[in-house]
């Protein structure tokens, strides 16, 4: 179940709630009982590990990126 972060306007506290996506925009009451809250835009963190390192393709030529795009001096 997704976790959403909210901020309470009256007391300024932030809190998280696990709720279905269908209820993501539903009003949320802060732990102090205030009802004037706003849903925050959260970043997504993905964890895990790869079985093999990711490598750039061989064969010359850049594919972009900072140094491949010419912004490095």
Question: Torsion angle, CA of 58/62/68/69, rounded to 10 degrees?
Answer: -160
- Across 9-45, b (16+ Cβ under 10 Å) vs e yields eeeeeebebeeeeeeeeeebebeeeeeebeeeeeeee
pTM: predicted TM-score of the whole model, two decimal places = 0.55
Quick check: 15 and 35 in contact, CB under 8 A? no
Check residues 46 and 62 and name the one with the higher pLDDT.
Answer: 46
55 pLDDT above the threshold of 70: no
What is residue 14's DSSP assignment? E
Tens-place pLDDT, residues 3-54: 999 999 999 999 999 999 999 889 999 999 999 999 998 776 667 666 666 6
pLDDT confidence of residue 28:
94
């Amino acid at each position: 179940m997704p976790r959403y972060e909210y901020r309470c306007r009256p007391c300024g506290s932030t809190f998280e709630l696990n709720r279905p996506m269908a209820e993501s925009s539903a009003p949320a009451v802060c732990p102090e009982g205030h009802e004037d809250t706003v849903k925050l835009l959260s970043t997504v963190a993905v964890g895990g590990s790869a079985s093999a390192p990711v490598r750039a393709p061989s064969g010359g030529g850049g594919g972009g990126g900072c140094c491949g795009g010419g912004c490095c001096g």
